[in-house]
Amino acid sequence: MVRVPAALALALSLSLAACGSPETTPAAGPAATAEPAVEQTPVMPDDAPPQEEAGVPEGELLGAADRTCTDSIGEAAAVRLAERCTMVSPATHPPCNPANACALIQDEIDRACGQYGPGEAKPAECSA
């Protein structure tokens, strides 16, 4: 039979008792028993103009970051930019894909080309 010192047995029993009793846990207070808040969907005012009348041009509804590079500058130019990105990026999974935003691809090119020191020769794709 294993003998456990009385102080250790008391500490163990108190810690186990505190874990199982919902009445003694702080989360069981009045705030925890209240019903969860229901999120309400924002409601547009009755006099708000529809989106197409708000002065936003049709092609500008999606921001540049939400559009693919192909959609922004055309397929041929997007493919060239992505290939340039692939040539200079040291990343294992760079964002050099025409399906990404052009700004994301250009940022990767800038980041990769910025890693060269002042005396180091940069690839030609950095100055293209």
Q: How far apart (Å, rounded) are the C-alpha atoms in residues 109 and 86?
A: 8
Residue 18 has pLDDT above 80, yes or no: no
Q: Is residue 48 part of a domain?
A: no
Q: Is residue 53 part of a domain?
A: no
Mean pLDDT score, 91-98: 93
Q: Is residue 20 part of a domain?
A: no
Q: Is residue 38 part of a domain?
A: no
Q: Which of 82, 52, 58, 84 is nearest to 68 (CA)?
A: 82
Q: Is residue 33 part of a domain?
A: no
Residue count of the chain, please give it: 128
Q: Is residue 50 part of a domain?
A: no
Q: Is residue 88 part of a domain?
A: yes
User: In the 8-state DSSP scheme, what is residue 95?
Assistant: -
Residue 121 has pLDDT above 80, yes or no: yes
Contact of 64 with 103, CB cutoff 8 Å: yes
pLDDT in tens, 101-114: 999 999 999 999 99
- 83: containing domain: 62-126
pTM, two decimals, is 0.50
Task: Please state the domain count of the chain.
Answer: 1
